Amino acid sequence: MKLQITFGHLERVLADLGFDKKTSRASAVVYKRLVTGTTLIVSLHQPGDQVPDFVLASIRHHLELKEEVSADAFDEMLQAIAA
């Protein structure tokens, strides 16, 4: 069974990775890791909203590309929090 990942789960993983969260102009949420400059931007959401698969795929790819965390480790972190 596929786990449903909420933005609350995602935010906990990103916080564990050292990302800070800010709302930008009431239209987006920006997650930024100051140490590396990596920035992730997603549309406004509530913590209980499910993260669309394409958003998770994009974040996973970006984190791996920026060498923040491997895709497998990111998925493991999400699964541990969502379980």
Residue-range domains of the chain with CATH:
7-82 (3.30.920.30)
- Predicted pLDDT at 27: 86
Q: Does pTM top 0.85 for this prediction?
A: yes
- Taking the C-alpha atoms of residue 13 and residue 76, their distance in angstroms, rounded to an integer, is 10
Which token pair is 41? 């931007």
Query: Please, what is the angle between helix 71-82 and helix 7-16, to 10°?
Result: 120
E strands, the chain, in order: 20-24, 28-33, 38-43
- pLDDT per residue, tens digit, the chain (83 aa), is 477 999 999 999 999 999 999 987 778 999 999 999 999 999 999 999 999 999 999 999 999 999 999 999 999 999 999 98
